[in-house]
Amino acid sequence: MSAAYFPVKHSILQEGALVDRILSRYALKGPLRCRFYRRSMSDVYTLHTGGEAFFFKVYLYGRHSRKEIEAEIEFANDLLSDGVPVAVPVQDRCSDYIIVLDAPEGTRYGVLFRAVDGDEPQETNLAHSEAFGRLAARVHACADRLTKVYQRGHQDETYLIRDPIRGMEPFLGHRPVDLDYLTRFGEDLVAELCALLPKRSPYYGVCHGDLHTGNARFDRDGRLTLFDLDSFGYGWRAMDIGIYRVSYDWMALDRETKAEKDRFWSAFLEGYADLRMLSGSELAVVALALPIRHLELMGLTMRYWAQHQGVHWINDTYFDQHIAWFKRWVNEYRRD
């Protein structure tokens, strides 16, 4: 890189350049219309051409290695081969799935997917929740039948609980009492989680890693189709489906919201049980998913969102709100 250019942490690739330099590598009908759609754990662009719709996903610099992204594509194709409806990755004219992008911050990778052009399922629609449960079970059942090992990380107690709390340490140096509380709270969760479930099949295996309604759409044939395997890896299946249980209004701890979650969670379980049964210990772990997912999301946002949003929001008000949430969960939910 020329010394004239200042190093950057995160760039946004310009749509016209993507069309000219990258998307022209695919056998697509023109003209191509590309728009920057959203920035989150990856940068996503919408692409419309010749009556077809696609998403071009540009992975964050440093989040996944090329081999890890190759594993994501391989898993998606394995699911498709098993008849599980997921977003289809698209090869370029050279039969490559992964495009190498020479971005200012370093090498990034892009993958084109066919868009699932339909409506998002709604948790509060019981038929939708049941369909989502059935789809989640199909993902887990397919993964159980596969004997291969994917090059992906583990969503274990370290990833879910300990790493997020360690990530908070630089921001809580002036609040040692709160840091001590979160550390003890996290270790209590670790002890309970690991006592309930072992790290072996069928309890532990390949997981989607982000099972919520925002990552699914109904296709034109009315099939519920899953996408965004960016977080897939190895973990407890109970924690994987627990994400669905807690994602609806996840900060709300009032009894009315809990009753609503219980209502569509029952429908989800009906769909899931069509293919896979859950043990009592797994259901007990789902009950722990709410605070564990809370910690995971805090860790992810601090680690990745801060790259492009700054750290202005990681302040005393932020920690006051979230620590109070954990204490309320202990006081109210642990007495059930």
- Residue pair 319/175 in contact (Cβ under 8 Å)? The answer is yes
Q: Which amino acid is at 246?
A: V
What are the angstrom distances between the C-alpha of 171 and each of 80, 175, 179, 326?
A: 43, 8, 9, 18
pLDDT for residue 295: 98
Tokens linked to 316: 């005393």
pLDDT for residue 233: 98
pLDDT digits (tens, 9 = 90+) for 173-217: 999 999 999 999 999 999 999 999 999 999 999 999 999 999 999
Task: Report pTM.
Answer: 0.94
Measured CA to CA, the distance from residue 336 to residue 332 in angstroms comes to 7
- Residue pair 258/228 in contact (Cβ under 8 Å)? The answer is no
What are the angstrom distances between the C-alpha of 211 and each of 62, 137, 155, 214, 265?
A: 23, 11, 14, 8, 13
pLDDT for residue 335: 58
Q: Which amino acid is at 326?
A: F
- Residue pair 37/54 in contact (Cβ under 8 Å)? The answer is no
What are the angstrom distances between the C-alpha of 142 and each of 207, 208, 213, 233, 275?
A: 11, 12, 20, 14, 10
Residue numbers in the chain where pLDDT is lower than 50 = 1
Instruction: Identify the bridge partners of residue 55 per DSSP, sorted by sequence position.
Output: 46, 113
Place of tokens 């390949």: 206
pLDDT for residue 3: 57
pLDDT for residue 2: 53
- Residue pair 108/59 in contact (Cβ under 8 Å)? The answer is yes
Tokens linked to 103: 């971005």
| All structural domains of the chain | 15-114 (3.30.200.20), 126-333 (3.90.1200.10)
Q: Using the 8-state DSSP alphabet, how is residue 213 labeled? A: G
Instruction: Write b or e for each residue in 107-139: b if 16 or more Cβ atoms lie within 10 A of its Cβ, otherwise e.
Output: ebbbbbbbbbebeebebeebebbbbbbbbbbbb
Tokens linked to 296: 């995971």
Measured CA to CA, the distance from residue 104 to residue 293 in angstroms comes to 33
Place of tokens 């010394």: 3
